[in-house]
Structure 1
Amino acid sequence: FSSGRLLSLRLLCLAALLISAYLAWSAIRLQPVIGCSGSELIDCEHVLNSHWSKVLGIPVSVPAVGLYATLLGLLAFAGRPAPPAFQRLLCLVLSVGFLTAGWAAVWFIGLQVLVLQHLCPWCLAAHTCGLLLSLLALTSTVRPFGRVPLTCAGLLLAGSLAAVQWLTPVPATFEVIVPEYARGAAGSESIEDFSPFGAEEFRPQDSMQAVPAEAAPEAAPGDSPAAEQAAEQLEPPTAQRRLWSPVSQALSPLVLSANLRSALSSLLLSPLVEEDEPEKRKVTIPGTEKPIRLDPADWPLLGSPQAKFIFVEMFDYTCPYCRDTNKSIRGAFERFGDDIAVIALPVPLERECNRAASGSGHAGSCELSRLAIAVWRCDRGKFQQYHDWLFDRTRTVAAARRQAEDLVGRDSLRAQMDSPAPGKQIGWHVELYIKVGSGTVPKLLFSGSSVVGAVQKEALCSMISREMGQTPAK
């Protein structure tokens, strides 16, 4: 190699090494790469979390670091006085290494374009270095080896890596967990009812069922407050929902003494027309110590409240595995339609709003979750649309806020975001997340088991079919 080409080769190897080292560090630390927000075409997280980003379970950037570090080290000996045999061997190893990097670049660029249909600029930069290294090697090295043998050798090595990836089955990325108490024949005897509404001011307005107030009878001038209180106590309890007959309605304006009211009430309230209040729909999920029961009306819901089967999902809007599971859930909706619904609970893995979160990643997750809850509180009918939009690709907080304003209006959204309600709701999600074991998301919670990790569509549909057959909705 000439001195000019040696300098170019060293600079390209150094650039590829630094980029690969950064990608390897991000993969090991589970950190998103910088400056690579999701879009229709550019989405680093989609690429770097795919099956093709690993070989034998190891991020491909790790062997890339080894390759470029080796090449850079060997280049330190190039151009120095050495025995001819050593120079030939050095030239051979460097040329095969450069061409291996070039063929590997062709493979991974092809995967991004044809299979994943998303691009990672960091990956493309490293692959471009590999392509340039291979071109410099081909134009520099002709003798004593020739282009064809060197090209075939590089193709063989890169092809071996591609074959390993192709033949490696997609691993199961989820784990099914059954709590200890659910493994016994009797199961757990106690169930915890968990509701997020300790105070009515935090309940969304459209979830509060307004109970019409009954018109109070007009008090007679001589009636005492004690008599009025006694008369109120004689009214039927709400749970019984007894129906007043037309006779009682006609007599209600009359001036009656407390005793007469009591007698008429006893005669005119017929138990034969009692109408039981329908039992509230509840969803049971496994906690770490005992089952937990939720009222779907209290939580964000995807699908119809009248669905035959409802389960719970916990997720983080910045989590790529949660995005994969969201795609599977959409596929399940396509298969089961209105027969299923999902209680969708954003659980940010950001320390700012989740005391159980570990690590320092998932920046912006708290704000994205608050925006989603604010949309749900403004208009429950718009929540699923916004939820799916957030999961379509990586979203910034600014873009998410604009989309939320477009859906529910700027003033409505601002009123919710300025209130403590969305943050308090997220706090309840976190408490529930701790009660079911915290740890990894996504979590899918069924009646007797939880599924942790990314779930593919077919596996999820099989789980739902099994659950619907064994534990149909009440």
Structure 2
Amino acid sequence: MVPLVNPQIARRASLARQSWWRGPVRWVVAVLALVAFADAAYLSWKSFSHSPVAGCNGTGVVDCDRVLQSSWARCLGVPVALGGAVCYAAVFGLSLAAGRQSDETDYWLSTALVAAALLAAGAALWFTLVQIVAIGSLCRHCIATHLCGLTIAGLVLWMAWRQPLAASQSHVAIPGVGGPRRPAAPRLAVGPSLPLAAAAAGGILALLVAVQFLLPTKTFEASKPQLDETIDMTAAAETPSADADDVSPTAQPHVVNRISDEADADGTADEAPPTDDQPAQSPDSNEAQASADPAPVESTPAPKREVTFLNGKMRINMYDEAVLGSPEAPYVIVELMDYTCPHCRQMHKKIRQAKERYGDQLAVVIMPVPLELECNKVVPATSPEHRGACGMAQRALAVGKISPEKFVEFHNWLLAREEQAPSAAATVRRAFSLVDRKKLSALSDSDEIKGRIQKYIRLFSRLSDQYSTADKPFGLPVMIVGDTVLTGKIETVDDLCNEWEKAIDIKPL
């Protein structure tokens, strides 16, 4: 029987149609894509849930939480890790499908595979550069995913460039002619279009970069809560709220005038205090007072200045609090923070720079909320980085009570290093070097200091109950500016100042 097809011609045609995507490389790429997909999906989940990332505790250069909470980690509000998961899922599927279809279908599948691999490599280079230059921290999981992407791109490009060479060097026998085999015609196997794949990947990556620059994602929230009950943060919780007559017409809505120590029950506190040029009393009144029996000497009343926030629902006494600045400053903001919180340490530098713009007209009230179970029963468990938070908060408030000037120095020292809080032993030594050792030891463990911390924890819990949701947890640091509550990560000093100026209408000096 004479065959209908010349076997030699059939073998040559089969060789020419041999796919470029074959061998063990296909399975290596599929496994790498699956690993990268799992890592990117995990980061997407952590980004949506705002929960800590395993293996990145926020100390040193490696800080996954700092990377994931930056504006660079999102594009139009969507985590870029989710886009990475989609890209690697596409690589996984295309790596299994390419090279097994008809010529036309395989052409498009192969081109899509190369484009996805190039996109993964380009995104890996871009986001690694962002972590080093813009964020200043690295994410272990992100770097692992990027390494998978670069390896995938290298293998895919190697196979795409290797196949034309293999096809051009193949040999076939020439029918009817004896002797050695002759090189076959340089017919290329069905494979991807590298220019088309590069153009597609480059266009998508350029669009991503442009959107991140032109439309950065807002990483913080400014809102005005509507509290049902008044939160009294003063030392005497039973003290009634200040009347409307006590509010200065020139003060900001959240600032209440200091109550004069000489005020009497009939409301003479509104009168201007006497000056050196104008005696407070007439000579007749002085003689009448001298003729009267001398009254018993009383201790000087403690200074007092009450300030209200959140539409009058929160009230504090400036002289009871630890303050950065003057208790008499016309503008006041409150910061809820923890000395062991890495995000609070990062925010501290921005607050100092922002406060310099406003000088003595702004004061910052510090309210520590330790993230340690020992004194904060709201915390489910104590993370290693938060051990010693209660002691730091107690010593800081005690230093502020003994010497308000030394508190500023101690507070700045505790938050000087962004990557890690000082040890408990170093904190004690520093505090002893600033104030009297006996006074500090007695006051740190006093019910007064511990009670103030519990008030701060209850305040944070009240705000958390109103703001926290499953997809938007409420965490430190928190700033109360007039009637506005600022939460989340404020990345620049300009953003911080803009929010302050909108909330309390303060102007730079």
Amino acid at match of 1:445: I
**Post-superposition shift, 1:118?**
2.3
TM-score normalised by the chain length of structure 2: 0.64
Give the aligned partner of residue 259 of structure 1: none
Are residue 88 (structure 1) and residue 107 (structure 2) matched? yes
Q: Which moved more, 1:59-68 or 1:301-310?
A: 301-310
Contact 2:304 2:319 in 1 (8 A): no
Is 1:74 the equivalent of 2:113?
no
| Residue 52 of structure 1, CA deviation | 0.8
Equivalent residues of 1:239, 1:277 under 8 A apart: no
**Which residue identity is paired with 1:55?**
C
Tell me if structure 2 keeps the 8 A contact 1:101–1:131. Answer: yes
1:297 maps to what in 2? 319
After superposition, give the CA deviation of every residue in 1:173-225 in whole Å (9 maximum; x if it has no partner): 222316489xxxxxxxx977533579xxxxxxxxxxxxxxxxxxxxxxxxxxx
SS at match of 2:222: strand
Identity score, percent = 29
Given candidates 163, 167, 172, the residue that maps to 2:210 is: 163
1:372-387 → structure 2 map (5 Å cutoff): 372-378=393-399, 383-384=407-408, 387=411
What secondary structure, in the 3-state scheme, does the structure 2 residue paired with 1:195 have?
Answer: coil
Paired residue for 2:139? Answer: 120
- For residues 2 and 192 of structure 1, the distance between their equivalents in structure 2, rounded to whole angstroms, comes to 69
Q: Secondary structure at the match of 1:408?
A: helix
* Helix, strand or coil at the partner of 1:134: helix
Is contact 2:338–2:393 with CA below 8 Å preserved after alignment? no
Match of 2:420 among 395, 407, 410: 395
Q: Distance in 2 between matches of 1:281 and 1:418?
A: 26
Is 1:431 matched up with 2:458?
yes
- Aligned equivalent of 1:10: 30
Shift in CA distance, 19/450, structure 1 to aligned 2, threshold 3 Å: closer
**Bigger Rg over Cα:** 2
Given residue 331 of structure 1, which amino acid in structure 2 is its aligned partner? Q
Q: What's the CA shift for 1:383? A: 4.6
TM (norm. structure 1) is: 0.68
CA distance in 2, matches of 1:376, 1:276: 23
* Corresponding residue number in structure 1 for 2:129: 110
Question: How does 1:49-448 map onto structure 2 within 5 Å?
Answer: 49-78=69-98, 81-142=100-161, 143=164, 144-145=191-192, 147-171=194-218, 173-177=220-224, 179=226, 193-195=232-234, 267=292, 269=294, 280-286=304-310, 291-316=313-338, 322=344, 325-348=347-370, 365=386, 367-378=388-399, 383-384=407-408, 387-388=411-412, 389-390=414-415, 392-395=417-420, 399-408=422-431, 424-434=451-461, 438=465, 439=467, 440-441=474-475, 442-448=477-483
Aligned residue identity for 1:75: S
Distance 2:503 2:119 in 1: 49
- Runs of 5+ unmatched residues, structure 1: 182-189, 199-237, 241-263
- What do residues 424-469 of structure 1 show as CA deviations (whole Å, max 9, x unaligned)? 4432112233455743344332444444444553354355557776
Q: Is the 8 A contact 1:43 1:393 kept in 2?
A: no
- Residues in 2 aligned to 1:402 and 1:145: alpha-carbon distance in whole angstroms: 64
Q: Which amino acid aligns with 2:95?
A: L
**Matched residue pairs, number?**
395
* Distance verdict in 2 for CA 1:57–1:304, change over 3 Å: same
Structure 1: how far apart are the matches of 2:346 and 2:129? Answer: 22
Partners in 2 of 1:326 and 1:376 — Cα distance? 17
Amino acid at match of 1:93: A
Distance 1:307 1:394 in 2: 32
Find 2:61's aligned residue among 29, 41, 48.
41
The one-character-per-residue Cα deviations of 1:39-77 (angstroms, maximum 9, x if unpaired) are 553322222111110012111111111111222123233
CA contact (8 A) 1:371 1:400 kept: no
| Letter matched to residue 162 of structure 1 | V
